[in-house]
């Protein structure tokens, strides 16, 4: 076990990355996982007690519930690498992380009845971390498969369909160090915060956090604005580099796409994620940013297309409700969809007065996510791609589930299950833009004089594999 505060907090070489991948073969990498676990214990301990560094004497003195005779029967059913992990970690206080309460070590082969156990005298499945009770009455948690040495995070029993049978859901099982790294990353960018000064939310979001114990989830954080703007700028540069010579529009590459004054005219709320992105991203020097979707170079046309930003919404004491903004509209304005239940559910809160009915036509294109701030697991940095057709034969969301028949907004989305915590929130805009850049750089999408070629129908006729985004947080 690491013996100094500096050793506990210095985990750079333990974090999973492309340059430092997780172990894909063999038993649990218990030393690496213990370091990441102990970092989270120390982080929470410092936040609770207002300390700048962890007090090792206090942490080491915490009684560990899996170190006595009463737990011996459980430990005898665990793989040696899992027992070594238990021997190497600090015992967390209740409320270990945003979605997680404590170390559980519950043997749960009984809830994976369809899976074979070839381990003889060992249990195959064990819950290492239990879900906090605030998230449901049928809690599960981070389940470790001692046969395959992979972990999944079904928060509740209702999520089990997303992780089993394992042979059909391998994308949802990860090395344990990958899950722990994602949690630490969310802390470091400020997506999940604590009540400590180091974890303070931006001023405009101070009352908009969703809190579970010590931990808070923010609708968005400044780092997400930075990374989304950077993703859009990289994508624009990839398109411009492939355009014929002399075809770039005569606009300043360094000018922001919109000013605050222009967004005020479009009734975009102040201090929200999408305003921050639109006033910071560089203006693309082309017309088509995706097949059939155009860059809003005409600010008056952009304002006229906004059907939702000027609609009065129910406001709540913990923060504003943020409407969806049509960012990149379909170039053909005849591409619309009727205002149905799917759009009503995604774009409005239950208490809102809705000035639309099923006969109203809604412009298609890429919208920012509509959120009720402070709602559990909301993602203001998300998006909805509203398309004028619903038949996506074979298309799947990140969690592997098929796009629902009749859906006009599910392409590129997460789905219900999130392998690193949470459920049902929107896919992040940054990940969509990165995926679009991959389609351009790989030649799946071609580039011409106006930018990305093709009509919006390309989203309908292309191979479904092009419109799947790998699971992430």
Nearest to 92 by CA among 174, 189, 213: 213
Residue 6 pLDDT grade (very low, low, confident, very high; cuts 50, 70, 90): confident
pLDDT of 87 reads: 92
**50-59, 253-262, 447-456 — which is least confidently predicted?**
50-59
**91-100, 184-193, 346-355, 432-441 — which is least confidently predicted?**
346-355
Q: Which residues pair with 367 in a beta bridge?
A: 326, 384
pTM assigned to the model: 0.94
Residue 349 has pLDDT above 60, yes or no: yes
Residue 202 pLDDT grade (very low, low, confident, very high; cuts 50, 70, 90): low
pLDDT of 374 reads: 78
Those residues with Cβ within 8 angstroms of residue 61's Cβ, 6 or more apart along the chain or in another chain = none
Pull the structure tokens for residue 321: 């409700």
Per-residue pLDDT averaged across 288-305, rounded? 97
Nearest to 266 by CA among 307, 321, 225, 295: 307
Residue 347 to residues 102, 274, 321, 380, Cα–Cα distance (Å):
36, 15, 10, 12
Helices 80-88, 30-49: crossing angle, 10 deg rounding: 30
Per-residue pLDDT averaged across 386-398, rounded? 86
Q: What distance, in Å, lies between the first and last C-alpha atoms of the chain?
A: 29
Q: What is the DSSP letter of 171?
A: G
Residue 2 has pLDDT above 70, yes or no: no
CB 298 within 8 A of CB 259: no
Residue 317 pLDDT grade (very low, low, confident, very high; cuts 50, 70, 90): low
**204-208, 231-235, 361-365, 440-444 — which is least confidently predicted?**
204-208
Per-residue pLDDT averaged across 268-279, rounded? 96
Nearest to 15 by CA among 168, 133, 134, 181: 181
| Angle, CA of 100, 106 and 108, to the nearest 5° | 110
Is the model more confident about 60 or about 145? Answer: 145
Nearest to 448 by CA among 234, 237, 233, 240: 240
Residue 78 pLDDT grade (very low, low, confident, very high; cuts 50, 70, 90): very high
Count the Cβ atoms, other than its own, within 10 Å of residue 109: 16
pLDDT digits (tens, 9 = 90+) for 134-166: 887 899 999 999 999 999 999 999 999 999 999
Count of H-run helices and E-run strands, the chain: 13, 18
């Amino acid at each position: 076990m690491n013996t100094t505060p500096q050793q506990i907090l210095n985990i750079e070489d333990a974090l999973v990355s492309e340059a430092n991948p997780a172990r894909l073969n063999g038993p649990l990498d218990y030393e690496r996982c213990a370091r990441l676990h102990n970092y989270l214990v120390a982080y929470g301990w410092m936040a609770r007690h207002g300390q700048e560094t962890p007090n090792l004497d206090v942490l080491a003195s915490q009684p560990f519930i899996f170190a006595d005779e009463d737990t011996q029967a459980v430990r005898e059913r665990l793989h040696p690498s899992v027992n070594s992990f238990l021997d190497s970690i600090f015992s967390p206080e209740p409320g270990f992380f945003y979605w997680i309460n404590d170390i559980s070590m519950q043997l749960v082969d009984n809830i994976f009845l369809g899976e074979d156990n070839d381990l003889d005298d060992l249990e195959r499945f064990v819950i290492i971390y239990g879900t906090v009770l605030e998230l449901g009455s049928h809690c599960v948690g981070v389940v470790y498969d001692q046969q395959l040495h992979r972990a999944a995070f079904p928060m509740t029993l209702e999520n089990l369909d997303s992780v089993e049978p394992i042979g059909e859901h391998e994308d949802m099982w990860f090395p344990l160090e990958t899950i722990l790294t994602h949690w630490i990353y969310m802390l470091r960018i400020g997506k999940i915060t604590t009540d400590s000064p180091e974890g303070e939310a931006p001023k405009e979001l101070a009352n908009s956090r969703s809190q579970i114990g010590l931990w808070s989830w923010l609708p968005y954080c400044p780092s997400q604005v930075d990374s989304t703007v950077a993703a859009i700028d990289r994508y624009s540069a990839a398109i411009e580099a492939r355009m014929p010579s002399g075809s770039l529009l005569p606009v300043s590459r360094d000018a922001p796409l919109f000013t605050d004054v222009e967004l005020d005219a479009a009734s975009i709320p102040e201090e929200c994620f999408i305003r921050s992105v639109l006033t910071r991203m560089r203006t693309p020097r082309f017309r088509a940013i995706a097949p059939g979707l155009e860059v809003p170079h005409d600010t008056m046309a952009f304002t006229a297309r906004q059907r939702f930003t000027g609609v009065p919404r129910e406001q709540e004491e913990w923060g504003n409700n943020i409407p969806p903004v049509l960012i990149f509209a379909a170039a053909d304005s005849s591409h619309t969809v009727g205002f149905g239940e799917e759009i009503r559910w995604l774009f409005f809160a239950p208490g809102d007065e809705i000035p639309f009915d099923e006969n109203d036509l809604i412009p298609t294109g890429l919208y920012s996510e509509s959120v009720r701030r402070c709602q559990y697991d909301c993602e203001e940095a998300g998006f909805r791609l509203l398309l004028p057709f619903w038949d996506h034969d074979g298309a799947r969301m990140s969690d592997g589930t098929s796009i629902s028949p009749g859906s006009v907004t599910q392409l590129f989305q997460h789905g219900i299950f999130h392998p690193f915590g949470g459920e049902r929130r929107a896919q992040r805009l940054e990940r969509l833009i990165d995926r679009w850049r991959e389609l351009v750089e790989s030649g799946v999408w071609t580039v011409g004089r106006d930018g990305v070629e093709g009509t919006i129908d390309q989203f309908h006729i292309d191979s479904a594999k092009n419109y799947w985004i790998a699971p992430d947080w």
